[in-house]
Each structure stands twice: as C-alpha cells, then as structure tokens.
C-alpha cells in the first residue's frame, strides 16, 4: 500500500510554545477557506489549488502520447524555458531519472538525451550545448506562457533555425512542440502559423505553480516518468492538505511553523537534502517561495543546501554565524539503490567500524548528528520525509509545497501569486538594448 510523505516539527518544538500554534490555527484555516474559494489576493492565478482533481484528461492523454513519440523518435530533446516554465520539469527529471541520465546508452534510457536551454543568456552555455548535441536529431519543447520572455525566445530562435536548416519546415513541424498561452503571445502566433503541436499553459495557474500542467508534464513524460502515478500522488496530497484541522493538515503545519519562525527573526530558510538529485528540486522550491513571499519588504529568504557537501563549506556559518536561520530537511526513507560498506583485512583507513552498514545508514547518521548540532546551535529543524523517491511521492511533495506556499503568503499578508518585482531588471535591460 502507498504511504504518504510526512511533515515533522519535533526538532523545532523547543523554539515554539504549543499555544503559539493554537493561536495561529484559526488564521490558517481561514486562509485555507479563502484560498479554496478563490476569494483572496491573486485569486485569478490560484487555479492550481484543485488542479489535481480538475485537470483536462483529454490534454493529459495527448501529453502522454507526445511524450511517447519523443521517446521513440528523438535522439535529443531540448527543453527551452526559464523560471516557472523550466524548473519543475528539471526538478522532476533530475530526481526521478538516473543521476547520469544523458551518459547512459539509448537502450538504458529508453528515450532521448534531454538538455535544457533558454534559462540564461550565456553564449558559453549555448555554444557548448550545440557542440555536445552535434549532428544528433533534435526535438524541441519550447515553454513560455507569455511567449515573449527574452531568454527562451533567443534560444528558440537558434534551435528552430538549426532544425529548419537540417530538416526543412516539414521536419521542424514534426519536431517542435510549443507549450504556451491558449490564444495570446508571439509563440502562440508562430506555432499556429508553422503548424506546431501546442499545449496550453492554463490562464488560472501562475508559472511557478505550473509543474502539474503541460508546462512540467510534457518533458517529464519524455523522460519516461509515469504521469498517472505523479498525478495520483498530487491528488492524494490535495486531500491530505485540505483537511480542516492543523493537527491533520501537513501543509498548514509547515506554513504555521515557518510563519512563527519568521516572527522570531528566523528570516532565512535552508531547504536541505542529503541526496544530490534533489538539487533542482530545491531550485524549484526557491522560486516557489522566493517569488511568492518576497514582496512588500517582507518574506523568508529561501536557500537551497546540499548536505553533507555544504557542511564542508557553509557548515561553520550555519552552526555559529548570525542566528536568523531555520532548516527544513528533505529525508528519504528508502533510496532506490544502496551499498554496503565492506571490511578490509587490515584496517588501513580505520573505517572497519562502519563495515556492514550501508551508505544510506551513514548518511542518516550524518543527518541526525547535524540536526542535533544545529538545534543546539540555535537553528530549528523541520523534516519532510518521503518513503521512497517515486513519481507518486514526488506528486505529493509538489502539491504539499504549493499549498503551504499559498497559505504562507496569505499569513504573511502578501499576494502569493504575483511577481511585480521581476519586471524591474527587464525594464532597464530592454531600455539599454534599445528595444523599440
């Protein structure tokens, strides 16, 4: 039987009093009502709230079919997008496929090599990517809701041109799939004119909440990940995270504790993982919370951490530096693979005391030791545990964080679904570039 992801704040209890949570509960439940009834700030972009129940099944089947087609026919898939139009797919692919996916043989992968482009404007990245791809048959999924974001638009210009030169217009039509607004924007217009297959970024779902829509799902399907299980996990989390009591609702608990931490001056949250395959998951989470909460001169600053790696670089600060931090750890009960440490005849490296233990068990002890040390050092620790790394639990994880983020925004008194601040640099850049 499938289990559920679990949220645990025992290791932060010494930093809060239980009545503080009791006092917050009515506000949280009210925020939840407002969110579900689409009555709060940014309500026009809160369509993700019941998305796991109401997503378009017909389009979902079309995504799976397109994913299969890409897996069978493409040698390389380039996913072009930035921010909310890229991080979710990358998070899923990095977590749920092999760590060295692109280095495996085609038989082992069962699909194309997958690369990302259009999430920066670096000529070095672009040229090196083109070099690595070489003469291989390229398919593209270009993802942009507005269809006008500079980074993906520039990368798409390059890849479209390359495919057309190699395969002609007809070949490009087969190989380019656009995920964009249902009716507006330059990309929609181009896709219509060129006859590309298109998928829709729903009007009612903002970029950073769009992983469970075609934005994330098509590249994820092309990576061979089971979308039915992923959506089933999200639906399960919808039900868990809609419960009307703090004691039963993990998203409400996480939102409540974060808010208490913030009120106590803990203005930086570290999302910690002991598995490097969570790296892009933490990038996705950083955007979700940073762009949702960081406004009106308020908000918790989200920082991603990879332990034990970063304990050897940032560990000193976390243990001993300015005391404005709290940490949330992503834990995995059972990794997909593990390795037992063997005994040496002569204990030359002094590690025989670990013989018989597995790498995962050692990693777990590192976590326990770190949490003890950090708690003593004044860094409260929250834990989110996944039974395993599977599409089902990934779906739960995504919905858990999205829901907690919406609630956190309302508790903080901000609109968690807009991002007015992102425009400031663009205005300057376009002026400097002489955009007409």
> Within 83-102, which residues bind ligand PA5 (CB under 6 A)?
83-85
Closer Cβ to ligand PA5, 146 or 364, answer by number: 146
Based on the shown chain and the rule CB under 6 A, indicate whether residue 207 belongs to the binding site for ligand PA5. Answer: yes
Instruction: Tell me how far apart the alpha carbons of residues 288 and 305 are, in angstroms, rounded to a whole number.
Output: 16
248 is catalytic: no
Based on the shown chain and the rule CB under 6 A, indicate whether residue 144 belongs to the binding site for ligand PA5. Answer: yes
Closer Cβ to ligand PA5, 326 or 399, answer by number: 399
Instruction: Tell me how far apart the alpha carbons of residues 223 and 218 are, in angstroms, rounded to a whole number.
Output: 9
Binding characters for ligand PA5, 152-181, by CB under 6 A (x = yes):
x-----------------------------
Out of 11, 188, 208, 374, which residue is the one contacting ligand PA5 (CB under 6 A)? 208
Based on the shown chain and the rule CB under 6 A, indicate whether residue 145 belongs to the binding site for ligand PA5. Answer: yes
CB of 29 to ligand PA5, least distance (A): 27
Closer Cβ to ligand PA5, 115 or 359, answer by number: 115
Closer Cβ to ligand PA5, 213 or 396, answer by number: 213
Out of 34, 36, 115, 146, which residue is the one contacting ligand PA5 (CB under 6 A)? 146
CA-based torsion, 4, 97, 314, 83: positive or negative: negative
Q: Judged by CB under 6 A, how many residues of this single chain contact ligand PA5?
A: 14
Binding characters for ligand PA5, 408-427, by CB under 6 A (x = yes):
-----------x--------
Choice among 113, 269, 275, 291 that is catalytic = 291
Based on the shown chain and the rule CB under 6 A, indicate whether residue 299 belongs to the binding site for ligand PA5. Answer: no
CB of 208 to ligand PA5, least distance (A): 4
Based on the shown chain and the rule CB under 6 A, indicate whether residue 149 belongs to the binding site for ligand PA5. Answer: yes
Based on the shown chain and the rule CB under 6 A, indicate whether residue 198 belongs to the binding site for ligand PA5. Answer: no
Decide if 246 contacts 256 (C-beta within 8 A).
yes
54 is catalytic: no
312 is catalytic: yes
Applying CB under 6 A, which part among 52-60, 88-96, 145-153, 233-241 lies near ligand PA5? Answer: 145-153
* Site of interaction with ligand PA5 (CB under 6 A): 82-85, 144-146, 149, 152, 206-208, 291, 419
- Enzyme catalytic residues: 291, 312, 426
């Amino acid at each position: 039987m499938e289990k559920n992801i679990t949220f645990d704040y025992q290791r932060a209890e010494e930093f809060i009093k239980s009545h503080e949570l009791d006092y917050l509960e009515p506000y949280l439940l009210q925020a939840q009502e407002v969110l579900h009834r689409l009555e709060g700030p940014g309500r026009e972009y809160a369509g993700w709230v019941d998305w796991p129940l109401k997503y378009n099944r017909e389009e979902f089947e079309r995504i799976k079919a397109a994913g299969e087609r890409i897996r069978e026919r493409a040698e390389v898939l380039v996913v072009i997008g930035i921010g909310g139009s890229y991080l979710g797919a990358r998070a899923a692919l990095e977590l749920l496929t092999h760590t060295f996916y692109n280095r495996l043989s085609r038989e082992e992968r069962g699909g194309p090599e997958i690369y990302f482009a259009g999430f920066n404007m670096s000529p070095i990245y672009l040229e090196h990517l083109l070099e690595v791809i070489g003469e291989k048959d390229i398919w593209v999924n270009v993802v942009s809701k507005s269809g006008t974001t500079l980074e993906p638009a520039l990368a798409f210009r390059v890849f479209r041109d390359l495919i057309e030169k190699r395969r002609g217009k007809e070949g490009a039509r087969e190989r380019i799939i656009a995920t964009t607004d249902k009716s507006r924007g330059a990309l929609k217009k181009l896709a219509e004119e060129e006859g590309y297959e298109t998928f829709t970024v729903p009007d009612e779902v903002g970029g950073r909440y769009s992983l469970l829509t075609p934005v994330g799902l098509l590249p994820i399907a092309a990576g061979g990940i089971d979308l039915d299980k992923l959506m089933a996990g999200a639906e399960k989390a919808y039900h868990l995270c809609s419960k009307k009591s703090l004691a039963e609702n993990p998203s409400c608990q996480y939102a409540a504790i974060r808010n208490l931490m913030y009120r106590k001056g803990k203005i930086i949250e570290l999302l910690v993982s002991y598995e490097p395959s969570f790296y892009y998951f933490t990038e996705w989470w950083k955007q979700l919370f940073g762009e949702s909460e960081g406004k009106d001169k308020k908000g918790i600053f989200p920082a991603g951490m990879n332990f034990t790696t970063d304990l050897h670089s940032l560990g000193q600060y976390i243990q001993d530096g300015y005391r404005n931090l709290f940490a949330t750890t992503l834990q995995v009960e059972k990794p997909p693979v593990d390795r037992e440490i063997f005994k040496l005849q002569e204990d030359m490296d002094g590690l025989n005391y670990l013989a018989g233990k597995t790498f995962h068990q050692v990693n777990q002890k590192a976590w326990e030791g770190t949490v003890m040390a950090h708690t003593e050092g004044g860094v409260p620790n929250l834990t989110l545990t996944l039974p395993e790394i599977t599409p089902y639990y990934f779906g739960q994880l995504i919905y858990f964080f999205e829901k907690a983020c919406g609630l956190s925004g309302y508790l903080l008194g901000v609109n968690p679904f807009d991002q007015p601040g992102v425009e400031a640099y663009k205005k300057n850049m376009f002026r400097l570039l002489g955009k007409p």
